[in-house]
Homo-oligomer: A and B are copies of this chain.
């Protein structure tokens, strides 16, 4: 199946300088993908020219006359920029002209616009931000990573269901194991919202492992980790900061003197392989789950390589039928949950 991706060409710290070359490379590597570059025509055309590229049936430009800035409020973006590259890219998903869209723009504006244009899946109160994280055993889907600051037990349950459906679709796993992030593995641990959520998730037909702790994420204890957006965002950013610190320390030790520099030369291939296993670029794309369409958010500061991987994430989601799987599973599990609750009440 041919997949068409709408790219917000203006989004991110570097705009077209990153999005256009990443799109060009992605098209070369993926002959069954079409890309629509959305944004200011002149800027896109200039960047294409700089790469000696031209439009063709698989690479189109779709004009949008406005750009949402990185520090603009979601309200302002929604109200004043109806022809922004971000919004038009999402419109293309809504109209079916594209199977997915990718933006490195302002997260808050992207989420608000995506919700407004695409609407949420029936049964979902609030979308969540999900990401596949590298672990000792493979990958783990984690959500919410910051779309919501407070989460009710029902919302945490919705995250668990959506994460399970996402992992099942992307990784071809039948019943992914689901963990609820907590500060202890015992049932009595945690705050009220988490305790109630655990009870609720236990009533679904998800493959619920129970509570997991922070160290279980990278241990790969479960396939899916559900948590509130505040904790998830902190966990993600703590990880980014720690990886940066460790990389800096390692670099400093290899740069200490002529002998360590010599060792660094010998170690180069193995260090490269080591780096690729943790590479933040490789894990760049974050998915907005709970919408009636695929929206992948790239890091604002992403380079070409990182943006390339966000495109890959969007294509994989489109190919896997992820949205349909989430929609069905949310409906089934919420119906089941209501039935369980009613049978308990009666």
Report A's interface with B, CB cutoff 8 A.
134-136, 146, 149-150, 181, 183, 189-192, 213-219, 227, 229-231, 233-246, 248-250, 253-254, 256, 260, 263, 266-267, 270-271, 273-274, 277-278
Instruction: Determine if A149 and B183 form an interchain contact, defined as CB atoms under 8 angstroms apart.
Output: yes
CA distance in complex: A271, B250 (Å): 8
Instruction: Determine if A241 and B263 form an interchain contact, defined as CB atoms under 8 angstroms apart.
Output: no
Shortest Cβ gap from A266 to chain B (Å): 5
Shortest Cβ gap from A137 to chain B (Å): 10
Contact of A270 with B274 at beta-carbon distance under 8 Å, contacts A150-B191, A215-B237 already known:
no
Instruction: Determine if A238 and B239 form an interchain contact, defined as CB atoms under 8 angstroms apart.
Output: yes
Query: By DSSP majority rule, is chain A's interface helix, strand, loop, or mixed?
Result: helix
Q: Which residue from chain B places its CB closest to the CB of A229 in the assembled complex?
A: B183
Instruction: Determine if A215 and B244 form an interchain contact, defined as CB atoms under 8 angstroms apart.
Output: yes
Kindly list chain B residues whose C-beta atoms are within 8 Å of the C-beta of A238.
Answer: 214-215, 217-218, 235, 238-239
Point out the residue from B234, B245, B273, B277 that lies within 8 Å of A234, measured CB to CB: B234
Contact of A244 with B263 at beta-carbon distance under 8 Å, contacts A234-B183, A238-B235, A239-B238 already known:
no
Q: Which residue from chain B places its CB closest to the CB of A214 in the assembled complex?
A: B237
Shortest Cβ gap from A167 to chain B (Å): 19
Instruction: Determine if B263 and A267 form an interchain contact, defined as CB atoms under 8 angstroms apart.
Output: yes
Kindly list chain B residues whose C-beta atoms are within 8 Å of the C-beta of A235.
Answer: 214, 234-235, 238
If A217-B238, A218-B241, A253-B273 are given as contacts, then 16 extra A-B residue pairs at C-beta distance below 8 Å, sorted by A number, are: A149-B183, A149-B190, A149-B191, A150-B191, A150-B192, A183-B230, A191-B230, A215-B240, A219-B244, A219-B245, A227-B234, A234-B234, A238-B239, A253-B270, A256-B270, A267-B267
Instruction: Determine if A234 and B214 form an interchain contact, defined as CB atoms under 8 angstroms apart.
Output: yes
> Which of A135, A248, A250 counts the most B-chain CB atoms under 10 A from its CB?
A250
Q: Which residue from chain B places its CB closest to the CB of A248 in the assembled complex?
A: B136
Instruction: Determine if A260 and B253 form an interchain contact, defined as CB atoms under 8 angstroms apart.
Output: no
Shortest Cβ gap from A150 to chain B (Å): 5
Instruction: Determine if A183 and B263 form an interchain contact, defined as CB atoms under 8 angstroms apart.
Output: no
Instruction: Determine if B191 and A136 form an interchain contact, defined as CB atoms under 8 angstroms apart.
Output: no
Q: Which residue from chain B places its CB closest to the CB of A193 in the assembled complex?
A: B150
Q: Which residue from chain B places its CB closest to the CB of A190 in the assembled complex?
A: B149
Shortest Cβ gap from A189 to chain B (Å): 8
